[in-house]
């Protein structure tokens, strides 16, 4: 694994997650009562940019390539890997040294710095090369009766839509930046690609959930035939969102309302159906809750439902927004962690520190539930987004819930660090298992 094309992308994904997690710790602590006063407020925004890009955007796209490479027979492109590696390094460098103005727009917060944008361009070029490389096999895979491959094939098709969205946004909205405030300019530029990536994440969730369900059940999970059409619905919904970009500005209400409807129907319903299908089979099964992939599956679906229910309940521009998207995103992160544990054992590597692997999904999963709960309660009482410290309020409920968020952050960072450490030790010692 360590020397394969898949293994290289896997190690890069672990590096990106580790770097992003380090930034997450700085971000979380800068909002926690009593701790925030020891951290420089002016670095909060740069750390947030580093966290979102490395621990969310890059980590998930890198993991997507890992899944594609592991399940498709088409060989990958070495050049694509080196492009992504260079891009990751440049973005991490720009965020670490706090260079350039930080613009906290949604989905792809930016640093107005040539290193950052060069890194972003190189990384996306590497990702796009894989999308095109796997496209032919993915088109055939849309009719596959293997739900994992079916969902991954849908993901490649959504990847093509994502590339189209990036190109369209650059052509339609990438004009003179002086016309708009920086925040508005980058919000418009990344709004549609960012939304479409959520459909790609959805296809990945489906694929990884079914892969983990096989581990939990011991056999392939059965599925209703129409669920293959649900995967195609993800492609259609993402494409529809791209079409709307040609008629409406991302700042216009019609596009935002349209996106909410498309999300609710075209993303939420297909994933709810898949969750229902998996849960009905897990319900009567004897599950091994000492097996990390099984624990990761249960926590992943639970966290996803929590995050999505927050969205369906509605929110303003407060901390309920990050509560929602952290639920959706960390559900995929936790599922990918479970998949990684199983992949390491499947590759017959000697597994070290099994107790760490057993505890890690619980620490990370519980930490994220606490974190999301803290953000949700704070937002319910009006805590603003993307604001360090707690000077904006005297409400004891908000202060207590932000303290809860800080505890959740600490648990999640410990859980994430344990995962990165466990994987690195296992791959470093990379020896065949004595009893495979």
- Closest C-alpha to 130, from 193, 82, 89, 201: 82
Q: What is the mean pLDDT of residues 73-93?
A: 94
Residue 42 clears pLDDT 70, i.e. is over it = no
Residue 436 clears pLDDT 50, i.e. is over it = no
| Pairwise CA distance, residues 362 & 180, whole Å | 45
pLDDT digits (tens, 9 = 90+) for 165-202: 999 999 998 876 766 778 889 999 999 999 999 999 99
Hey, which residues does 366 pair with through a beta bridge?
A: none
**pLDDT, position 35:** 58
pTM reported for the whole predicted model: 0.90
Query: What confidence category does residue 401 fall into, taking pLDDT thresholds of 50, 70 and 90?
Result: confident
pLDDT digits (tens, 9 = 90+) for 248-289: 999 888 888 999 899 889 999 999 999 999 999 999 888 899
Query: What confidence category does residue 393 fall into, taking pLDDT thresholds of 50, 70 and 90?
Result: low
Structure tokens given for 230: 């649900």
Q: What is the mean pLDDT of residues 131-159?
A: 96
| Pairwise CA distance, residues 45 & 389, whole Å | 12
Among 7-16, 159-168, 208-217, 348-357, which is the least confidently predicted range? 348-357
Q: Give the chain's mean pLDDT.
A: 87
Q: What is the mean pLDDT of residues 402-408?
A: 85
Share of the chain above pLDDT 70, in %: 89
């Amino acid at each position: 694994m360590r020397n394969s094309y898949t293994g290289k992308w896997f190690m890069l994904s672990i590096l990106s997650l580790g770097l992003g997690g380090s930034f997450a710790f700085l971000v979380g602590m800068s909002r926690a009562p009593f701790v925030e006063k020891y951290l420089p407020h002016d670095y909060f925004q740069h750390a947030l940019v580093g966290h979102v890009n490395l621990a969310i955007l890059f980590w998930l796209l890198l993991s997507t390539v890992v899944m594609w490479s592991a399940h498709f027979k088409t060989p990958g492109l070495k050049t694509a890997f080196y492009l992504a590696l260079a891009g990751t390094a440049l973005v991490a460098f720009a965020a670490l040294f706090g260079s350039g103005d930080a613009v906290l727009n949604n989905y792809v917060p930016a640093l107005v710095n040539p290193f950052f944008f060069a890194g972003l361009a190189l990384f996306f070029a590497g990702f796009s090369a894989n999308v095109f490389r796997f496209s032919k096999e993915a088109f055939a895979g849309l009719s596959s009766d293997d739900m994992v491959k079916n969902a991954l094939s849908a993901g490649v098709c959504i990847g093509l839509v994502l590339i189209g969205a990036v190109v369209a946004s650059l052509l339609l909205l990438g004009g003179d930046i002086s016309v708009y405030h920086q925040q508005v300019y980058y919000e418009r530029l990344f709004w549609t690609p960012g939304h479409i990536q959520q459909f790609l994440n959805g296809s990945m969730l489906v694929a990884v959930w079914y892969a983990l369900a096989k581990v939990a059940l011991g056999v392939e999970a059965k599925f209703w035939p129409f669920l293959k059409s649900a995967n195609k619905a993800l492609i259609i919904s993402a494409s529809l969102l791209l079409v709307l970009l040609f008629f409406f500005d991302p700042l216009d209400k019609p596009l935002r309302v349209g996106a909410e409807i498309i999300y609710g129907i075209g993303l939420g319903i297909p994933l709810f159906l898949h969750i229902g299908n998996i849960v009905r089979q897990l319900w009567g099964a004897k599950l091994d809750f000492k097996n990390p992939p099984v624990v990761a599956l249960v926590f992943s679906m639970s966290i996803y439902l929590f995050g999505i229910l927050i969205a369906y309940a509605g929110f303003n521009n407060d901390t309920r927004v990050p509560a929602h998207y952290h639920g959706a995103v960390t559900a995929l992160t936790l599922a990918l962690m479970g998949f990684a544990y199983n992949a390491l054992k499947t590759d017959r590597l000697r597994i070290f520190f099994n107790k760490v692997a057993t505890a890690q999904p619980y620490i990370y999963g519980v930490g994220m539930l606490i974190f999301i709960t803290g953000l949700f309660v704070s937002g319910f009482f009006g805590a603003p987004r993307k604001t360090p410290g707690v000077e904006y309020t005297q409400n004891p409920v908000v202060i207590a819930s932000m303290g809860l968020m800080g505890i959740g952050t600490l648990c999640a960072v410990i859980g994430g660090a344990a995962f990165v450490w466990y994987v690195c030790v296992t791959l470093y010692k990379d020896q065949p298992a004595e009893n495979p």
